[in-house]
Structure 1
Amino acid sequence: MAEIVALVDYGAGNLHSVENALRKVGAEVIVTADPETLRAADRIVLPGVGSFRACAEGLRAVDGAIEAMSERVLVGGAPFLGICVGMQLLADVGLEHGSTPGLGWISGEVRPLAPKDRDVKVPHMGWNEVAPLPHARDHAVLDAGEAYFLHSYHFQAERGADILAMTDHGGSLVAAVGRDNIAGVQFHPEKSQSYGLGLLANFLEWRP
């Protein structure tokens, strides 16, 4: 029997493109925010585009969704992938339009991009390198390559061990975070062609 991937539906704008990409690599996807379905899922993917505050408030507005995700991922050990703002929501707090609490699964803050070079534009938009750090070069999900980014805020992780990969846009930026059975990517695998599909296929095979 195929494993079920729960794609969390809380009004995130990239929901259907992520669903299509997951199905393309063979995933059995259920688009849902139902707590009982989340508790029964084999894997969970949290998408997200837009502002940290809007996404955090949207997720909290779905009764029982965060509790169910926490139970399935933090207690049950289900593999989890956060994408773009879905990755940023792993932080303790986001500083977009004020201070908004995140999930607090990976310690850190989401801060505005502030490139040292004034000629470097914000948002960070387009293709850029994903460079795994030495301690993450054998990570089952993440490979080196080029991916599509679109963001104006970045994850500033508290612990270096939680940073899986970096990129560069007027200075070093976190491209991926993770620990144990949790992974998050700042870029959009669903827009990253063969590299992104490869990452999603890796996620489906991941046995943390």
Structure 2
Amino acid sequence: MLPLGEPKFRRRPADRPAEILAAALEVFAERGFQAARLEEVAKRAGVSKGALYLYFETKADLFRAVVTDAISPNIARATAAASAEIPFETAARMALGLLARTVVTDQRISGVVKLVIAESRNHPELATVWHETVVEPGLRLMSGLIAAAQARGEVRPGDPRLFTFGIMGPMLLSMVWRETFEPIGAGPIDVVKLADQHLDTVLTGMRP
């Protein structure tokens, strides 16, 4: 049996990175980047600040790891699910539906979106991380599906990237709404229902 009071990070060393990233996601979402303190991340993760520095040298390194760990896998799952070989409308609903259920509805992630919007002018590295890890992979996924569908004659001519902005726009708006207006009493948005209804509308306009 381990001695009473054994530090948590020594009891479960294999869990240490995951626990740190989960705690950091919460702290970044609640505090923002500037106000986030590594001491608080370490405390919530049950590790010492020194142990945290064994994995992440700077707060920016930790933020990059959080985005890569918490969000990037969902983009990868959407990519795997929405094959360009299936009808475009089916693929689009699978991809946007998965993102709506796993990313957009997660209040911690919408808190990070607010963080990026609010603090990227003073910390441009935050925008760079978000763009490289989330925005561009998502745009490539949907743009590729649209281009393949255009080649099959399923989607009318037009810039696939601009079509993608039109499809994805309400998802970003819903996160901004949650973080900005719901705290002052505005009614919540059902993001999954919004995604379904929006696709009903936009896909009709994209047909030849």
Task: Please indicate, yes or no, whether the TM-score normalized by the shorter chain is above 0.5.
Answer: no
Structure showing greater radius of gyration is: 2
More helix by share: 2
More strand by share: 1
TM-score normalized by the length of structure 1? 0.26
